[in-house]
Amino acid sequence: MKTNKSYTKRIKVTRNGKLIARKPGQDHFNAKERGRTKGVKSRPNAIQVPNRIRRAFLSKTSI
């Protein structure tokens, strides 16, 4: 099965194998947001993905 390249570029795999990605909706229109909201959006988000989906979208080298 082919790896979904656009998906793999948005995800970082940690040493322990956790998947981390940015939260959506951070690129623009953030001037009106509260400081707390901006801080929460800037933090990375751990993703829980079943192994079946992980194999479909991520290459074996990145897991």
Report the pLDDT value the prediction gives residue 59, as an integer from 0 to 100.
64
- Looking at the chain, the number of H-run helices and the number of E-run strands are 3, 3
Along the 63 residues of the chain, how does pLDDT read in single tens digits?
677 777 778 888 888 878 888 877 778 888 898 999 888 888 888 888 888 877 766 666 555
Report residue 44: phi and psi, to 5°. -70, 155
Report the pLDDT value the prediction gives residue 61, as an integer from 0 to 100.
59
SS3 content of the chain, % helix, strand, coil (to 5): 30, 15, 55
For the segment(s) 5-57, the CATH number from 4.10.410, 3.40.50, 3.30.750, 3.90.25 is 4.10.410
From the CB of residue 19, how many other CB atoms can be counted at a distance below 10 Å?
Answer: 19
Task: Judge contact between 58 and 2, C-beta under 8 A.
Answer: no
Q: Where are the domains of the chain?
A: 5-57
